[in-house]
Amino acid sequence: IAETELVMSSWLPPRHPIVVGAMKPWAEQIEEVTEGRVTVRVLTSPLGAPPAHFDMAAEGVADITYGLHSFTTDDRFQRSRIGQFSFLGDDAVSGSKAFWNVYANDLDAQAEHEGVKLLGLFVHGPGVLHNNVRRIETVDDIAGLKIRVPGGYIADLMADLGATTLFMSSGEVYEKLSRGVIDGVTFTYEALTAFNLTDDLQYSMRVPGGIYNTTWFVVMNDDKWNEISAEDQAAIEAISGEAFAELVGAAWNAADEAAIEEIQAEGIEIYDAPAPVLEAIKQAAAAYEQAWIDAIAADGYDGAAALGAFRAQTGVAY
């Protein structure tokens, strides 16, 4: 008989690769490693809107939640933004592990996740710039393109490069793209197929380590965490953190690989950013990285070293 049943609120569709390939397997692992003393029930539908999921764990609406740090527009997760920059990782396993190692260890991620136990941190596969107007050869080709961006660093970067940036929920992208409201989108490969965008896109420009990324958390309600015995806590921690980063990264990678095949079959051209474009991205990116480094330096953190460590772990050279 389970001593503790944990309720996980999951807002991604039940068949999303992350839910199927990481959240549910991890929930089962928790039951295994605690020999059934702790079980996790993944709810079919979420207990709140996606952006509410961090607070939901803190307030105990659910026991375990996951979500994006960028859901909140306030400054709560300032140091997490290390995972949003360009040139961070070419696959989700190395990226997620580096993100966990650097953010959790060097940048004290737990301190920014106030009121919850931080169990997992991860990123998705490398972000790509997709559009249906032209193959981007120079920076001038970006000018005037209407690009949907998720907000944050990539929104600023695309605006710097001359694009008109638009915000909408990811579910709206299909309708807006097929009606010509937007010309393109910054997305992973996986999202391209998940949102049925292959018919409406033609060019996917790739940047070493991704043009952007998005950072995610997995957290547990503090009180619930403290209910669990020290032995079981240790068992859960052993399959969380870096191990979870590997699990979820592999799920993203598999989804990206399947998506790339489909994208290529649909005749979308995937190409590397030409040198002048890459140079412009590097310059703009450096300014944002510096601003972030300065901002967290005020709290006594070495952002430059953290970024260096991140890239050393993922092996991205640019």
Partner 1 sequence: MEELRKRFKSGPPENGGLEIGPILDWSVGIGAATILFCLVLITCVDVVGRYILDTPLTGAFELTEVLLAALVFLALPLATERREHVEVDLLGLLGPRWNTLFSAFAGLFSAALLATFSWRLASHAWKAAQDGSVTNALEIPLAPFGYLASLSCLFCAFIAFLRGIQPPAHERRAKTEEGIL
Partner 2 sequence: MTESLIGFAVLFGLILLRVPIAFAMAAVGGIGFALLRGWEPAWALTGQVAFDTTLSYSLSVIPLFIFMGNVLAASGVAHGLYAGADRLFGRMRGGLAMASVFSCGGFSAVCGSSLATAATMSKVAMPSMRKFGYDDRLATGSIAAGGTLGILIPPSVILIIYGLMTETDIAKLFIAGVIPGIIGVLFYLFAVRIAVAINPALAPEGQHSEPMTRSDKIGVFAVLGLFLFIMVGIYGDFFTPTEAAGMGAGAAVVIAIALRAMNLRAFIEATLDSVRATAMIFAVIIGAELFTKFINLAGLPDALAGIVLDLEMPAWAVIGIIILIYLLLGCVLESLSMILLTVPVFYPLMYDLPFQSELLQDPENALIWFAIVVVVATEISLITPPVGMNVFVLKGVLRDVSLSTVFRGVLPFWIADIFRLGLLITVPILSLWLVNLM
Q: Which residues contact partner 2 by CB under 8 A?
A: 7, 13-14, 41, 43-45, 47-49, 51-52, 55-56, 59-61, 168-169, 171-172, 175-176, 178-180
Pick between residue 59 and residue 269 the one whose CB is nearest to partner 2.
59
Give 199 or 272: the residue with its C-beta nearer to partner 2.
Answer: 199
**Is 35 among the residues that bind partner 1 (CB under 8 A)?**
no
Counting contacts by CB under 8 A, is residue 168 touching partner 1? yes
Q: Which of 164/233 has CB closer to partner 1?
A: 164
Residue 317's binding partner out of partner 2, partner 1, none, with CB under 5 to 8 Å set by partner kind: none
**Using CB distances below 5 to 8 A depending on partner kind, what does residue 131 bind out of partner 1, partner 2, none?**
none
Is residue 178 near partner 1 by the rule CB under 8 A? no
- Which residue from 103, 107, 92, 129 is spatially nearest to 314, judged by alpha carbons? 92
Nearer to partner 2, 7 or 98 (CB): 7
Residue span binding partner 1 (CB under 8 A) among the ranges 27-35, 123-131, 132-140, 178-186 = 178-186
- Cα–Cα dist 261/193, whole Å: 10
Structure tokens at 3: 């001593």
Among positive and negative, which fits the CA dihedral 237, 307, 287, 274? negative
Considering the complex, state which of residue 44 and residue 73 has its C-beta at the smaller distance from partner 2.
Answer: 44
Q: Is 181 in the site for partner 1 (CB under 8 A)?
A: yes
Does 69 interact with partner 1 (rule: CB under 8 A)?
Answer: no
Candidates 164-172, 205-213, 230-238, 249-257; binding stretch for partner 1 (CB under 8 A): 164-172
Closest CA to 138 of 274, 270, 284, 285: 274
- Rounded-to-integer distance, Cα 87 and Cα 68, Å: 19
**CB of residue 110 vs partner 1: minimum separation in angstroms?**
18
Which of partner 2, partner 1, none is residue 18 near (CB under 5 to 8 Å by kind)?
A: none
Q: Taking CB under 8 A as the rule, does residue 73 contact partner 1?
A: yes
Q: Does 76 bind partner 1 (CB under 8 A)?
A: yes
Q: 1 exposed, middle or buried (CB, 10 Å; 0-12, 13-18, 19+)? A: exposed
Q: Which is nearer to partner 2, 175 or 231 (CB)?
A: 175
Among the listed residues 122, 123, 141, 124, the one whose alpha carbon sits nearest the alpha carbon of residue 133: 141
Encoded tokens for 54? 């961090």
Q: Which does 61 bind (CB under 5 to 8 A by kind): partner 1, partner 2, none?
A: partner 2
CB 196 within 8 Å of CB 178: no
Residues contributing to the site for partner 1 (CB under 8 A): 55, 72-76, 146, 151, 155, 164-169, 172, 180-182
